[in-house]
Amino acid sequence: MQYSQEFHKKSISLLADQLGENGISISSLISKISAFQIAVPSWALGAGGTRFGRFSIGGEPRNLEEKLDDIGLLAKLTKRTDAVSLHIPWDIPQDAAAIRQKAADLGIGFDAMNSNTFQDYGQALSYKMGSLSNANADIRKQAVEHNLQVIEIGKSLGSKALTVWLADGSNFPGQAHFRKALQGTSESLQDIYAGMPADWKLLLEYKPYEPNFYHTVIPDWGTSAMLCKQVGDRAKVLVDLGHHLPNTNIEQIVATLMHQNMLAGFHFNDSKFGDDDLSTGSIKPYQLFLIFCELVGGAEENAQTWESISWMIDASHNTKDPIEDLVQALEAISQAYAKALLVDRAKLTHCQVEGDVVGAQEVLQDAFLTDVRALVREARIQSGGEADPLAFYRKEKIREKLIAQRGKDATASGL
Ligand SMILES: [Mn+2]
């Protein structure tokens, strides 16, 4: 919706009055929203593919340098991201020092490194039947060595974390030995963990199905947490919002993990049916809000510190301009966070103790239904970002400029 500068000022002052009456300071909200930065994955900058096709948006980044340029642009417009999450082998830097310098010049750091043992890319042994869990010890060893190489590349860039997502599993009964697959995975992860610097953390992702459809070695948060406990203190569970069966109570999983200080971080996206990787907040914004309520509550009640959690977008699809999509995602995440900060937690606790179910729901709805767009915009303006990043992007014809510079058929690496 179009808005004038004057309307924005009126909105923010009205909101300040309303929140002030409830004892909430707007300036402390603005500083929290401004400080909250979400990493962008290198594979979200090109049009995503499906099993059926891929439609290039044009002007996609052709190499790591151009991916950094796109994230630098996003950072400049939104002030909501300050890091990139790289994927190896898609993003192997030719000159790590030069890449690190370029990123620093753009105000971009290196978030968690992602290994890839879910496809073959010319390595000696195939991952067709799995990687860290493979029944063949030589393949497990090769997969461990790949992860160790990813750590080395990450060290050269200043990253401090490794994310492991395993596609390992089976498509038919009898294909895999469940217990041996878990044992192999646990031992492989221990070998990887032993090769990690002492200030790194390991983020272990889970997913119920796909690409395997009968069994997945790490299908859920419980299995991931169990493996992490076998591996070490710096191994924790990564929650990818799309990696759940329909209607799973993800906010409860978040609370449970925080209760055990086992939440490593997030992969933000949204879904209607499965691992759809749709834009965060586009399908289930109330769920996203409830997840943030648990995050804010868990941090305030010292279950786990806010700073110990990693934040990243993991979305990619084939019908939007990827930069516009990321602007929308960063906005949706900031809004959900801002709304969760508005929850009257003392009142909520009172309602819980008194058994006031209606009152508790009102507390949450009050926060969720508050229009925080002006607040998030004000935080962005105060940080030096664009008041309306999407409008700016379109007005400046940035995609057209990227197409002129990189070509209509330029394709980013990824799926
Ligand atoms: Mn993910």
pLDDT at position 174 over 90: yes
Alpha carbons 258 and 268: distance in angstroms, whole number: 17
Query: Residue 87: enclosing H or E segment and its boundaries?
Result: none
**Residue 227 amino acid letter:** L
Please give the pLDDT value at position 317: 76
109 CA distance to ligand 1 middle (Å):
19
Mean pLDDT value of segment 231-254: 98
Between the CA of residue 320 and those of 57, 326, 334, 399, what are the distances in Å? 8, 10, 20, 12
In the block, tokens 């401004």 appear at 34
> Taking Cα atoms as reference points, which of 166, 75, 185 lies closest to residue 118?
166
Backbone angles phi, psi at 72, to 5 degrees: -60, -40
116 CA distance to ligand 1 middle (Å):
12
Please give the pLDDT value at position 306: 97
Please give the pLDDT value at position 411: 78
22 CA distance to ligand 1 middle (Å):
38
What six digits make up the tokens of 241? Answer: 């919002």
Mean pLDDT value of segment 21-44: 96
Q: Going by DSSP bridges, is the β-strand pair 83-85/235-240 parallel, antiparallel, or unpaired?
A: unpaired
207 CA distance to ligand 1 middle (Å):
9
For residue 393, the tally of other CB atoms under 10 A from its CB is: 19
Please give the pLDDT value at position 98: 97
Please give the pLDDT value at position 311: 98
Cis preceding-peptide flag for 211 (omega within 30 of 0)? yes
184 CA distance to ligand 1 middle (Å):
22
Please give the pLDDT value at position 415: 60
Of the ranges 104-113, 127-136, 178-187, 315-324, which one carries the lowest mean pLDDT score? Answer: 315-324
Helix (H, G, I), strand (E, B) or coil at 69: helix
Q: How many residues belong to the chain?
A: 415
265 CA distance to ligand 1 middle (Å):
10
CATH number given to 36-343: 3.20.20.150
Is the whole model's pTM more than 0.95, yes or no?
A: yes
Contact 187, 229 (CB under 8 A): no
Burial class (CB in 10 A: 0-12, 13-18, 19+), 122: exposed
312 CA distance to ligand 1 middle (Å):
9
pLDDT at position 320 over 80: yes
**pLDDT 10s digits, 147-167:** 999 999 999 999 999 999 999
245 CA distance to ligand 1 middle (Å):
15
Q: Work out the mean pLDDT of the chain and round it to a whole number.
A: 96
For residue 400, the tally of other CB atoms under 10 A from its CB is: 12
103 CA distance to ligand 1 middle (Å):
23
165 CA distance to ligand 1 middle (Å):
7
pLDDT at position 51 over 80: no
pLDDT at position 55 over 90: no
413 CA distance to ligand 1 middle (Å):
17
41 CA distance to ligand 1 middle (Å):
10
Mean pLDDT value of segment 247-273: 97
What end-to-end distance do the CA atoms of the chain give, in Å? 34
Backbone angles phi, psi at 128, to 5 degrees: -55, -40
Confidence of residue 412 (pLDDT cuts 50, 70, 90): confident
What six digits make up the tokens of 99? Answer: 């890449």
Backbone angles phi, psi at 164, to 5 degrees: -115, 120
Q: At what angle do helices 250-259 and 221-231 cross, to 10 degrees?
A: 20
Confidence of residue 197 (pLDDT cuts 50, 70, 90): very high
205 CA distance to ligand 1 middle (Å):
7
Share of the chain above pLDDT 90, in %: 93
pLDDT at position 414 over 70: no
